[in-house]
Amino acid sequence: MSMAPSAEGSRTVQMPKIDERVVEGMRLHEFLALTTDKELAEAVEAMFMACKVVGYEVRTASCNKEECVNAFGDQQLAVDLLADRTIEAALRASGVVAIGSSEEQPIEKDLGGTTFAVAWDPLDGSSIVDTNFSVGTIFGIWRGKRLTGVTGRELEAAGMAVYGPRTSLTVSLNGLPGTHEFLLVDNFSGNHGMWVLVQSFYTINEGKLFAPGNLKATQDNPGYAKLVQYWMENKYQLRYTGGMVPDCNQILIKGKGVFANPGSPSAPAKLRVLYEVAPIAYLIERAGGASSDGERSALDIPIPSTDIRSQICYGSKGEVARFNEMVGKRYIK
Ligand code: FDP
């Protein structure tokens, strides 16, 4: 046992750095049985069920230059709208979600349940779904009945699903340390169709891998221009898809690296704190990494409205410190 900073704030709590009950190969229900908060487990399980369906919806969509659509009853629906409906239905059916809000419908909606408020981005990367790049779903779960006036610091759980050659879902929840990757098994084995834990993340090391989002901001954000120059001069490896989910998930999988999406006067920050920035910050920080809007952890950005946006950096602690020093808070809105 060790004293570790809690995800809830600067308080320190007694918690094991690694939970030895969490082992590779365990199924989702075995993992969720480890939490004492049964309602939280139900909300998280609902998101896993929904993302399994969304993965299928993405895989079977047909795309042209304008949009990707899928058959839904006798209607053709854009795949991001279909994903949004799927997630809302799963959360409603769980009975534990009181309020829901999605990037598609950025209002606080009554979902009829008891305990949690859930925010989700049903299909992040809508501009790259037609090109068949990896896209994803992001979600955050808060206790209570509101999604405004909260911060990421108060999250109970968060996750991101990646719909790529494989479907995976990376999740973290209070009460279980670390961030954990589950794979949707698709090999006709006894585990076919199940979510199985493939790895757990507890540390993010320093390493030369960069994902430079909103690169056009380098034209009028001199700090960002210098930071990109620093990465290039120091021969960092470029790994950037233009999808925030795969671009951030790689920091966990590779155990190193940095993702940045700063603002500038002509290219302001567009990533939404409620649906994207805060949940991913929770996943990265609980895996031993850091996040920042240029001056503070992204978990501390106030969320006065569902639409609030922020510049952001995620990665190892050293990389995020460099972002704070070189880019800083100058273009925080
Ligand atoms: P998209 O607009 O394709 O949905 O959150 C939105 C997002 O994608 C992120 O996934 C991605 O990192 C970012 O926007 C990319 O934005 P730019 O295309 O403006 O660089």
Outline where the chain has alpha helix (H).
28-32, 38-59, 79-94, 222-233, 244-254, 278-286, 317-326
- Give the chain's largest Cα–Cα span: 57
Q: State residue 331's pLDDT score.
A: 81
- For 228-264, write each residue's pLDDT tens digit: 999 999 999 999 999 999 999 999 999 999 999 999 9
Give me the pLDDT at residue 177, please: 96
Task: Say if 54 falls within a structural domain.
Answer: yes
Number of domains into which the chain is organized = 2
Residue 214 beta carbon below 6 angstroms from any ligand 1 atom: yes
Question: What whole-number distance in Å separates Cα of residue 101 and Cα of residue 199?
Answer: 30
Centroid of ligand 1 to alpha carbon of 125 (angstroms) = 6
Residue 136 sits in the same domain as residue 173: yes
Residue 19 included in any domain: no
Quote the CA–CA distance of 43 and 278 in Å, as a whole number: 18
Considering the domain architecture, whether residues 31 and 164 belong to the same structural domain is answered as yes
Examine the fold and report which residue of 162, 185, 200 is the final residue of a domain before the chain moves on.
200
Domain boundary among 200, 216, 232: 200
Q: Are 45 and 183 members of one domain? A: yes
The span from the CA of 142 to the CA of 303, in Å, is 13
Ligand 1 atom closest to Cα of residue 267: 19
Query: What local confidence, expressed as pLDDT, does residue 3 receive?
Result: 40
Q: Whose alpha carbon is nearest atom 17 of ligand 1?
A: 214
Q: Is the CB of 103 under 6 A from ligand 1?
A: no
Instruction: Give the C-alpha separation, 322 to 146, whole Å.
Output: 34
Q: Cβ(242) to ligand 1 under 6 A? A: yes
Q: Is 249 in the pocket of ligand 1 (CB under 6 A)?
A: no
Asked if residue 109 and residue 256 are part of one domain, the reply reads no
Mean pLDDT by 10 residues, the chain (333 residues): 40 62 96 97 98 96 87 84 97 98 97 98 93 97 98 98 98 97 93 96 97 98 98 98 98 98 96 98 98 98 97 98 95 75
For residue 312, the enclosing domain spans: 205-327
Q: What is the spatial order of strands in the sheet that 62-63 belongs to?
A: 62-63, 68-72, 75-78
How many Cα atoms occupy the beta-carbon half-sphere of 199 within 13 Å?
10
